[in-house]
Structure 1
Amino acid sequence: MRFNTLFLLILSGLCLALAQTTYDDCCLKYVRKIGRSTQRHAVQYRQQVTDGGCNIPAVIFTMKKGREFCTDPRERWVKDLMKMIDRKVARNGHKKPTKNQRPYRG
């Protein structure tokens, strides 16, 4: 009886641990709007596609200090901000991310 209970607890813990890692890098909801002053601090973005544990498509913007915002890729302001970042990168060349930022993963 004790073995069955212990086995069940270990199995439950393992399932929970695996489920948590599935959603680590996924956006679960969108930020509706980012102010103009905050948009100026956006240095890169990456796109989230709907596969595996990620249930919604998103564009994830990374700010200068490493903070990230999940946004709806269908919004006009999101597309405009992506174009602005692409122009900055093309003009300045691809800069290495700072210590707090993750590299661009396309």
Structure 2
Amino acid sequence: MKFSSLFFFLLLLTGTYLSLAQGSYGNCCLGYVTKMKKNVKKNVVGYRKQETDGDCNLRAVVFTTTKDKTICANPTLPWVQHLMHKIDNSAN
């Protein structure tokens, strides 16, 4: 009986800790899109780079669309670099 109540308490404590840890990700990307449709690419108006410092564990490029939606992408992919370059050139 003592073992099962101790096990339950540890399980509850672990679940609470993990739920609190998830809250620390604020505004971080937790995964990438693999590709983006042409019509969505046309609606991208800007981007920011997410580094692996602070709360974020994943390097990413976070694109912003005209409807203020964010899309996380892998910064090493050629299509992501091309879209970043296109946005940079259109700003000049």
Cα shift readout 1:10-52 (whole Å, capped 9, x = no counterpart): xx69x93xx4542011100000001111101000000000012
Between the aligned partners of 1:20 and 1:33, the Cα distance in structure 2 is 26
Paired-residue identity, %: 42
Between the aligned partners of 2:40 and 2:84, the Cα distance in structure 1 is 14
Q: Which residue of 1 aligns with 2:81?
A: 79
Q: Does 1:36 align with 2:31?
A: no
Q: Which runs of 5+ in 1 are unaligned?
A: 1-11, 91-106
Q: Which runs of 5+ in 2 are unaligned?
A: 1-15
Cα shift readout 1:46-71 (whole Å, capped 9, x = no counterpart): 00000122111000000001011000
User: What is the letter of the counterpart of residue 55 of structure 1?
Assistant: N
Cα shift readout 1:59-104 (whole Å, capped 9, x = no counterpart): 00000010110000000000000011111111xxxxxxxxxxxxxx
User: Equivalent residue of 1:39, what SS?
Assistant: helix
TM-score by length of 1: 0.65
Bigger helix share: 2
Superposed, 1:2-41 pairs within 5 Å as 16=20, 19-41=21-43
Q: CA RMSD in A?
A: 1.8
User: Equivalent residue of 1:87, what SS?
Assistant: helix
Moved more, 19-28 or 69-78: 19-28
Query: What is the aligned residue count?
Result: 76
User: What is the letter of the counterpart of residue 67 of structure 1?
Assistant: K
Between the aligned partners of 1:58 and 1:35, the Cα distance in structure 2 is 18
